A and B are shown apart, each in its own frame.
Chain A
Amino acid sequence: EVRLVESGGGLVQPGRSLKLSCAASGFTFSDSYMAWVRQAPTKGLEWVASISNSGTTTYYRDSVRGRFFISRDNAESALYLQMDSLRSEDTATYYCTRVGTRYGFDYWGQGVMVTVSS
């Protein structure tokens, strides 16, 4: 059974940092591209960042590039999102996802809430 379990969310002040983690199991993690997708309260889905299976290539949406950093540890089957210089508009539930065939996100974690507020 595929499982993606996020952790590390919480309440943080604007301008501060937070690091999200995602523990993966039930599939060959090192074979899979991975991504973070977020959803602001009562809003739609928004892709944040993706990383290649080896970790050598990363992709970001413009609004987070230079502030957020996606990384992975294939030995630990773990995905990370380092979020710096957080803004109120980053407030959302963050989902860890696996990138499947033709870039459909075929598995999702339960999500972790990040609230940026003073």
Chain B
Amino acid sequence: DIQMTQSPASLSASLGETVSIECLASVGISNDLAWYQQKSGKSPQLLIYAASRLQDGVPSRFTGSGSGTRYSLKISGMQPEDEADYFCQQGYTYPVTFGSGTKLEIK
């Protein structure tokens, strides 16, 4: 199985600050990488797919980048509504696997 190592596990940011979350795959996944946001008590929402493509309706302050085994999600200008859990996920091969998540809070 492909292991997705996500870091950091938790993060605290001030409003307007730029934050980054990293995901390291145990093997190359050819940009088959998605990022999700999950607010408390809600279903996950797709933010980014194919490593860098923004899902329709997602604010442009969310950007994805990376290649091979290393990927990152950047939030440019933290907003109150960005407080949530974030997960990466590889869809390169079965079993589909997720990162362990990052809890992002407002400082």
Contacts and interface: CB of A to CB of B under 8 A. Distances in A.
B71 interface: no
A46 interface: yes
| Interface size grouping (class) on chain B | 20 to 34
Classify chain A's interface size: 20 to 34
B32 A103 contact: yes
Given A44-B98, A46-B98, A47-B98, A102 B46 contact: no
B69 interface: no
A8 interface: no
A104 B34 contact: yes
A102 B91 contact: yes
Task: Output the residue of A35, A59, A105 with the most chain B CB within 10 A.
Answer: A105
A59 B94 CA distance: 8
Interface in A36-78: 37, 44-47, 50, 59, 61-62
Given A101-B50, A102-B32, A102-B50, A108 B44 contact: yes
Contacts of B43: 95, 108-111
A100 interface: yes
B5 interface: no
Interface string B72-101: 000000000000000101011011111111
B62 interface: no
A95 B42 CA distance: 11
16 contacts: A44-B100, A44-B101, A45-B98, A47-B96, A47-B97, A100-B46, A102-B50, A103-B96, A104-B49, A104-B55, A105-B36, A106-B46, A106-B49, A107-B46, A109-B43, A111-B43
